[in-house]
């Protein structure tokens, strides 16, 4: 029995409507109904309703669709007397359900400029002692360029250049997959297979493979949400999926209209919040008002968790935190690129303009963005893991 057949059994002989959660619960009650993840069932259910935009991304399922999406997450069997020809609906451009998001989320608030500049100055002046396995590694360093150059994960042998060499091919391929979705083209079965493999490689690299739901449908949802495209409203977010969001959007570096995500996990968020808190406290500013959405993600290890005095937004599992944290890091990058704090060391030698992930901008033909870890955590996340006092840097914040 396939997921489509299981859902068909739920609606068999039923004239009324079911909420998505009810459909999933009824499928679970069927013999063998626990073989599919919730994400897989959600994706199949949406694809079986030809009047949804999401159905066009699963043409092999949509062509056999028999449901009508009523909006509000409710579905019923297609009624040709009121809904029109089912065959025509399957073949036509899908109509969007009333509550389905048809545009990217509202723009994330821009962080206060003076606060970003103070953060940049604080990190630049603060001495940093890299650590490996809780022991000092190398000499203390000072300044954004030195911090970025000292990046390694998870072992000193995997320095900035080695990390770039390992991860750049993943970002190249992920960029191509993301551009396909952004152009409005559906992924092929091979696209989904490759995207799922890339996502798993990112989770493995980050040491966060223990995900409740993992599969092609969930990976595509995360790609879509990170890109601000329809079909990503149900995408999960945690310290693993933030890395996939960074993977999916790395190719956007340098695009003034859109922006790459950073890896907003416990290391990055803790590092940034830890440096922002005394600044806000001295000003008498409330974090939730000054930096809405930004907050630490729960995590343990090294110097985490770190106690906070002020009340911050909850960061764990929140796309709002992911988007707000990414916006903050992008603004840090922009301030650094005004000059005055040195330039970004490149993985292959030399220096250049700062990027969110700590690598050279993507080439128009070879989207080789530095690894998200070297970039994303290069400063905050990366430094956070190796050292006990990480600081974030556009080229490092996401790591």
pLDDT at 393: 37
Between CA 11 and CA 347 the distance in angstroms is: 56
pLDDT of 105: 53
Supply the pLDDT for residue 257.
63
Claim to verify: residue 193 and residue 294 sit in the same structural domain: yes
71 and 177 both lie in a single domain: no
144-156 core/surface letters (b: 16 or more CB in 10 A; e: else): bbbbbbbbbbbee
What does DSSP assign to residue 109?
P
Together in a domain, 29 and 117: no
Predicted local confidence at residue 84, as pLDDT: 83
Same domain, 218 and 366: yes
With respect to residue 171, please indicate whether it lies within any of the assigned structural domains: yes
Compute the distance between CA of residue 364 and CA of residue 97 in angstroms, rounded to an integer.
Answer: 36
Q: How far apart are the first and last CA of the chain?
A: 42
Same domain (yes/no): 234, 348: yes
* CA 12, chain centre distance (Å): 38
Q: Does residue 275 lie in a domain region? A: yes
* Whole-structure pTM value: 0.68
Is residue 162 located within the same domain as residue 219? Answer: yes
Let me know whether 293 and 179 are in one domain: yes
Question: Do 224 and 309 sit in the same domain of this protein?
Answer: yes
- What Cα–Cα distance (Å) separates residue 296 from each residue in 136, 239, 264, 266, 276? 25, 11, 9, 6, 11
Structural domain for 170, as ranges: 113-386
Q: What CA–CA distance (Å, rounded) separates 75 from 352? A: 53
Task: Let me know whether 224 and 335 are in one domain.
Answer: yes
Is the CB of residue 232 less than 8 Å from the CB of residue 244?
Answer: no
pLDDT of residue 323: 94
Q: For each of the chain's 399 residues, which pLDDT tens digit applies?
A: 788 899 999 999 888 889 998 999 999 999 988 888 887 888 888 889 888 776 766 777 778 889 988 877 889 999 888 888 888 777 764 444 434 444 445 567 789 999 999 999 999 999 999 999 889 999 999 999 999 999 999 999 999 999 999 999 999 999 999 999 998 888 999 999 999 999 999 999 999 998 888 999 999 999 999 999 988 888 999 999 999 999 999 999 877 667 899 999 989 999 999 999 999 999 999 999 999 999 998 876 566 567 888 999 988 889 999 999 999 999 999 999 999 999 999 998 999 999 888 766 544 334 332 232 333 333 333 333 333 333 333 434 333
Indicate the number of domains in the chain.
2
State how far the Cα of 196 lies from the Cα of 190, in Å rounded to an integer: 10
Q: For residues 361 and 309, state if they share a domain.
A: yes
- 198 with 153, same domain? yes
**Under 8 Å between Cβ of 163 and 376:** no
């Amino acid at each position: 029995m396939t997921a489509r057949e299981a859902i068909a059994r739920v609606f068999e002989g039923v004239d009324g409507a079911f909420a998505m959660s009810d459909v999933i619960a009824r499928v679970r009650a069927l013999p063998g109904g626990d073989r599919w993840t919730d994400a897989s069932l959600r994706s199949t259910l949406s694809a079986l309703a030809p009047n949804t935009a999401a159905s066009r991304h699963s043409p092999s399922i949509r062509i056999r669709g028999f449901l009508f999406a009523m909006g509000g997450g409710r579905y019923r069997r297609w009624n040709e007397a009121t809904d029109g020809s089912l065959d025509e609906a399957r073949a036509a451009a899908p109509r969007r359900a009333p509550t389905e998001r048809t545009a990217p989320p509202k723009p994330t608030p821009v962080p206060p400029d003076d606060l970003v500049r103070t953060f940049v100055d604080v990190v630049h002046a603060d001495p940093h002692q890299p650590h490996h396995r809780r022991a000092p590694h190398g000499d203390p360093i000072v300044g954004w360029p030195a911090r970025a150059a000292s990046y390694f994960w998870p072992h000193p042998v995997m320095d900035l250049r080695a990390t770039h060499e390992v991860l750049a091919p993943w970002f190249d391929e992920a960029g191509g997959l993301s551009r396909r979705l952004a152009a409005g083209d559906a992924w092929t079965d091979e696209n989904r297979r490759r995207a799922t493999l890339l996502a798993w490689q990112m989770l493995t690299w980050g040491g966060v493979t223990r995900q409740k739901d993992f599969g092609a449908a969930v990976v595509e949802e995360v790609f879509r949400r990170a890109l601000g495209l329809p079909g990503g409203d149900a995408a999960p977010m945690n310290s693993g999926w933030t890395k996939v969001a960074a993977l999916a959007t790395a190719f956007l570096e340098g695009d003034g209209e859109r922006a790459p995500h950073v890896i907003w996990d416990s290391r990055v968020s803790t590092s940034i919040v830890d440096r922002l808190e005394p600044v806000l406290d001295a000003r008498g500013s409330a974090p939730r008002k000054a930096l809405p959405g930004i907050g630490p993600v729960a995590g343990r290890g090294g110097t985490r968790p770190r106690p906070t005095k002020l009340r911050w937004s909850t960061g764990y599992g929140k796309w709002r935190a992911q988007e707000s944290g990414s916006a903050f890091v992008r603004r840090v990058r922009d301030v650094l690129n005004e000059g005055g704090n040195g330039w970004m060391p490149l993985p292959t030698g030399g220096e250049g303009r700062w990027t969110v992930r700590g690598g050279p901008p993507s080439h128009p033909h070879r989207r080789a963005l530095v690894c998200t870890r070297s970039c994303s955590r290069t400063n905050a996340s990366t430094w956070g893991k190796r050292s006990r006092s990480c600081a974030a840097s556009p080229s490092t914040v996401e790591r």
